[in-house]
Amino acid sequence: MIGDSWRDVEAGHSAGCKTALLVGEGTEGAGMDPGDAIRGNDTGCNPDMVESNLLKVVRKILL
């Protein structure tokens, strides 16, 4: 599941999916260092990948 908020990451984990968190401009994680984001937040959910835009996530999934 690809999302731009921690709620999306939580939902993906609840559904048994791998998750990707977008941290680009206009997202909940805007300006966040990807290394910090991949370690999660206070929800205890860690995304499987963190990228600044959707195209980068899609490339990682497909390649």
Extract the tokens encoding 55: 């195209």
Lowest-confidence region among 7-11, 41-45, 49-53, 59-63? 41-45
Q: Note if the pTM is more than 0.85.
A: no
The CA R_g of the chain, rounded to the nearest whole Å, is 10
Tell me what pLDDT residue 27 has: 73
Number of domains in the chain: 1
Extract the tokens encoding 63: 């390649």
List, for residues 11-48, the tens digit of each pLDDT value: 999 999 999 998 877 777 677 766 666 665 676 778 89
Coil, strand or helix at 25: coil
Coil, strand or helix at 47: coil
What is the 8-class DSSP label of residue 53?
Answer: S
Q: Containing domain of residue 42, as a range?
A: 2-62
